[in-house]
Amino acid sequence: MAMLKIPGYENQRPGEVPLEAVRDLLGDCRRCPLCETRTNIVFGDGDPHARVVIVGEAPGKNEDLSGEPFVGAAGKKLDALLQIAGLRRDEVYICNVLKCRPPSNRDPRPEEIAECSPFLREQIRSVWPDVIVCLGNFATRFILRTEQGITSLRGRFYETGHFHVLPVFHPAAAIYDRTKQASLEADFALLGRWLAEHPAEGSAAAGTAPVAGAVPAGEE
Ligand code: URA
């Protein structure tokens, strides 16, 4: 994946490009047909210097209407799960693989992910967190560059360059399948323990380590 060139930023080192510059580049995006049916672009929300970035799949109806990620039923569940990890929503940064709602909440299509994911990549480079929590299959596939399913991947951390990646079930899945709730709670408890056991690794500007994995593709 080609790195997005952000005007005004020569080297685009980790943490160098502010989220506002990435948002400006996205503009009134018309790069894929989802622009025809969306109400609002849902860029992302939260602490621009968070230790934890949460990556979901795509906006749903409530997010499309409000322009904010995870404000519907899945968002309420996410808030409760963050609490288990000892985190508030405003302490993390929350975004999605797709910035526009797929009609009827269908799955994201490969060509939509191809157009939209460079912006996710730049958001993550901007925040430069210690941990990326992937909610469900689409986020996990993109971040870990895997075709393996979430059921076999969840429940442990993976390292990809600078980042520690925790794949978990999508919170919406636990609304329809109660058996997933216990796994989600265990995984967010694991996140809380990990954060307690690993003090902050330094500011974004200090993070100059080379990176493997999907997020900084093209830079390994
Ligand atoms: N589901 C997602 O994956 N993202 C949202 O923002 C809302 C629901």
Q: Is residue 71 part of a domain?
A: yes
Q: For residue 173, what is the domain's CATH number?
A: 3.40.470.10
Q: Is residue 133 part of a domain?
A: yes
Nearest-CA residue for atom 7 of ligand 1: 70
Q: Is residue 109 part of a domain?
A: yes
Q: How far apart are CA 79 and CA 150, in angstroms?
A: 21
Q: Tell me how many domains the chain contains.
A: 1
* Ligand 1 lining (C-beta closer than 6 Å): 42, 56-60, 63, 69-70, 74, 96, 172
Q: Is residue 38 part of a domain?
A: no
Q: Is residue 140 part of a domain?
A: yes
C-beta of residue 26 within 8 angstroms of C-beta of residue 41: yes
Helix ranges (H only) for the chain are 19-26, 34-37, 61-66, 73-84, 110-127, 136-144, 150-153, 171-176, 179-197
**pTM for this one?**
0.91
Q: Which two tokens stand for residue 167?
A: 């794949």
- Ligand 1: residue of 41, 63, 104, 141 to mutate (most ligand atoms within 8 A of CB) is 63
Q: Is residue 214 part of a domain?
A: no
Give the distance (Å) from ligand 1 centre to CA of residue 96.
7
Q: Is residue 183 part of a domain?
A: yes
Q: Which two tokens stand for residue 140?
A: 């996990």
- Residues with Cβ within 8 Å of 196's Cβ and at least 6 positions away in sequence, in order, are 86
Q: How far apart are CA 43 and CA 59, in angstroms?
A: 9
Mean pLDDT, rounded, of the chain: 91
Give the distance (Å) from ligand 1 centre to CA of residue 56.
5
Q: Is residue 66 part of a domain?
A: yes
**Predicted confidence (pLDDT) at residue 11 exceeds the cutoff of 60:** yes
Range of the domain at 157: 50-196
Name the burial class of residue 5, with classes exposed (0-12), middle (13-18) and buried (19+) by CB atoms within 10 angstroms of its CB: exposed
Give the distance (Å) from ligand 1 centre to CA of residue 74.
7
Q: What is the pLDDT of residues 39-81, one digit of tens each?
A: 999 999 999 999 999 999 999 999 999 999 999 999 999 999 9
Give DSSP secondary structure letters for 13-66: -TTTS-HHHHHHHH-S--SSTHHHH-SS----EE-TT-SEEEEES---HHHHHH
Q: How far apart are CA 9 and CA 11, in angstroms?
A: 6
Look at residue 206 in the predicted model and tell me its pLDDT: 43
